[in-house]
Amino acid sequence: MINQHNPAWSLAIPILSLIILGLYKLMPNFPLILLLLSIGLIASVVTAVHHAEVIAHKVGEPFGTLVLALSVTIIEVALIVSMMLSGGDDVMGLPRDTIFAAVMIILNAIIGLSLLVGGRKHFVQGFNLEGATAALGTMTVIIVFSMILPNFVSSSNVVGVYSAQQLVFIAIITLAMFVAFTLFQTIGHREYFLPVEVDELHPEEVADVPSTKTLMVSLVALLVSLVAVVLSAKGISPSLEALLGRAGAPVATLGIFIAAIVLLPEFGAAMRAAKANRLQSSLNLAIGSAIASIGLTIPVVAVLAIILDWPLELGLDAKSTVLLILSLFIVANTLRTGNTTMLPGFVHLAIFATYLFFSFVP
């Protein structure tokens, strides 16, 4: 069980995190419990990244990155739904804020830092243009359908809110596009998402392939780590909301924190892949996560909103729409040739910094 792929710490941390969660459940007023939850959260994220990479090495691309993308998206959905159920009308815009934050983090922070880290070490990195083009096209359509189109429909009396019939249609179409892309990525044209050939001066760093037993251990440990992440984040969220309220931060910033928490595993995995000259893996993870985030989150919250008769706010305001369109344009420009360098990374990070600044200083 314990070997070079699964060192002792990677198996101990999920267990310790569950112990901390048990302590929180039994004694919520225990001194420093929030600090322990925060430590358990960060440690679980690190562990999730490790085990996701073990799985990725065993099953190969693009299945490995798909495992992590789906796992993290499930966490995101669970957090959004739990907070919607507990927060009522005050959080009807939380799905939009969280999805938008996730998209901005993925397109600008994760891709930007991946290009920066990889470009700094390897100067020029290649990727499969066919796969990137297909992923960007799918991602752009579901983003526009989910967060821009609601501002221009006329059936609803509220700007940015779909009617029940429109919401059902958008939920079905986004889910269908996610399924279609997943089949295209894993079965129809898997070769479009495999690492490209690299030159002798900048070889791809390849790790030893784990055994099947190691794979199963990592899969269980990944699931436990992800459960620990979502439960720890849920325990911390009330204090986080109160802190943001005292600081006078806008309500939308809660979505940024949720997205940042759930995307930490993907962030770490993408950075390490780019550093190892596996930029294709970083892009698979980043763009695939954006597609999964919307393609799975929208149908779930749509069903919840229809059942509970909630006015689900999906349309972005003008400022956010401008930043989103700019991000989509720049990422399409960045990935237009099949090769990339450090400079586009700086550009994406500049957009992300601007997004963060105007989120907290609207």
Res 216 pLDDT > 80? yes
Work out the burial of residue 289: count CB atoms within 10 Å of its CB; fewer than 13 is exposed, 13-18 middle, 19 or more buried.
buried
| Range from 173-177, 206-210, 218-222, 293-297 that averages highest in pLDDT | 173-177
Handedness of CA 344, 186, 53, 37 (dihedral sign): positive
Alpha helices in the chain (DSSP H): 8-26, 33-59, 63-87, 94-104, 111-122, 129-143, 164-183, 212-247, 253-275, 279-308, 318-334, 342-360
Q: Which residue has the higher pLDDT, 32 or 69?
A: 32
Burial 180-216 (b: 16+ CB within 10 A, else e): ebbebbeeeeeebbebbebeeeeebeeeeebeeebbe
Nearest to 180 by CA among 237, 139, 122: 139
Nearest to 281 by CA among 193, 190, 209, 199: 193
pLDDT tens column, 194-213: 766 544 434 444 556 777 78
Residue 186 backbone zone (phi > 0: left; psi -120 to 50: alpha; other: beta): alpha
Q: In the chain, what are the domain boundaries? A: 63-207+244-360
Q: What is the mean pLDDT of residues 183-187?
A: 82
Strand partners, 340: 125
pLDDT tens column, 105-144: 988 999 888 888 888 877 888 787 788 888 889 989 999 9
Q: ∠ CA(310), CA(299), CA(266), 5° rounding?
A: 115
Q: Which residue has the higher pLDDT, 58 or 146?
A: 146
Phi, psi of 29 (to 5 degrees): -95, 15
- Answer yes or no: pTM beyond 0.85: no
How far apart CA 12 and CA 217 sit, in angstroms, is 12
Cβ count near 154 (within 10 Å): 6
How far, rounded to the nearest angstrom, does the alpha carbon of residue 72 sit from its chain's CA centroid?
6
Res 222 pLDDT > 90? no
DSSP state of 160: T
Res 2 pLDDT > 70? no
Res 156 pLDDT > 70? no
Report residue 323's pLDDT band, with 50, 70 and 90 as the boundaries.
very high
Do 141 and 177 contact (CB within 8 A), yes or no?
Answer: yes
Least confident range of 33-42, 47-56, 192-201, 239-248: 192-201
154: helix, strand or coil: coil
Report residue 173's pLDDT band, with 50, 70 and 90 as the boundaries.
very high
**Cis peptide, bond prior to residue 62, ω within 30 of zero:** yes
Two tokens at 299? 């149908």
Provide the pLDDT for residue 90.
Answer: 58
Provide the pLDDT for residue 319.
Answer: 92
Domain 63-207+244-360 has CATH 3.40.50.80: no
Q: What is the mean pLDDT of residues 19-37?
A: 84
Provide the pLDDT for residue 47.
Answer: 83
pLDDT tens column, 329-345: 998 888 888 778 888 88
| 274 Cβ contact list (under 8 Å, min separation 6) | 113, 114, 115, 117, 118, 125, 282
Provide the pLDDT for residue 91.
Answer: 64
